Homo-oligomer: A and B are copies of this chain.
C-alpha cells in the first residue's frame, strides 16, 4: 500500500513553462482513472540523496547559506541525482566526499520520501554512513559549506535546531536507534 501508483492516470495535455538548471516547470492536465481532469503545476526534479554520516560519537552536519529562504541552515549533507543513470548510493558516496571530505566503509539505506509531492517530483533517498575515513577533498567555494560535527549524545538538541525536512527525517531515524549512552545500535 505504501507506494501505490495511480493506475490509468493519463496526461490530457502538458505545457512546458521553463527549463532551468535545477528545476523544470510544466502545467499538466491529468486525466484521472474516473475521467476527471485536474490541472497541476508540476516541478520536475531528478531526485536527491541525504546522508547521516556518523563518525564515532558524532554526526557530521553542514551549514550553508540557502538564499531561497534567506537563511543559513544546519543540514545533513545531501546532493541532487544530477548524473543521469547514477545509482543513488553512488551519488551519496560522491556527495559525502565533496561536502564533508569523508569516505564510508558501511552504508545502510534508511528509506526514502517525497519532499513536496503536491508540486515537486523530488524523491530523496536516505542513507546511514558509518566507518568513516577522512579523504582529500576540494570544497566548492561557491557552496560556502561549513562542516559542523555534533555529539550524538546531544541529538535531541540538534533536532531542535534543525529546520530542514530531509535532515529532520534522517536524524529522527537514527535517534530511535541510539542506546542510553548515545551510541548507535
Contacts and interface: CB of A to CB of B under 8 A. Distances in A.
Q: A interface, how many residues as a size bin? A: 35 or more
Interface of A: 1-6, 9, 17-18, 20-23, 25, 27-28, 30, 32, 36, 38-43, 65-75, 111-124, 142, 144, 160-166, 168-169, 172-173, 175-176
A117 B66 contact: yes
A65 B18 contact: no
Contact of A165 (B22, B73, B169): B169
A175 to B, nearest CB: 7
28 contacts: A1-B161, A2-B74, A2-B161, A3-B163, A6-B70, A6-B71, A17-B25, A21-B39, A22-B41, A22-B118, A23-B25, A32-B67, A32-B144, A36-B142, A43-B43, A68-B119, A68-B120, A69-B121, A69-B123, A111-B163, A112-B163, A113-B165, A115-B115, A116-B116, A124-B165, A165-B165, A168-B172, A172-B172
Nearest to A160: B2
A113 B160 CA distance: 11
Nearest to A116: B115
Dominant secondary structure at the A interface: mixed
Contacts of A71: 3-6, 117
Most chain-B CB neighbours within 10 Å: which of A27, A38, A71, A74? A71
Contacts of A40: 67-68
Nearest to A141: B36
Given A6-B65, A23-B43, A116-B116, 20 more contacts: A4-B72, A5-B72, A9-B70, A17-B17, A17-B18, A18-B25, A21-B39, A22-B118, A23-B41, A32-B67, A38-B67, A66-B114, A66-B117, A71-B117, A73-B114, A114-B165, A115-B116, A116-B122, A124-B165, A168-B169
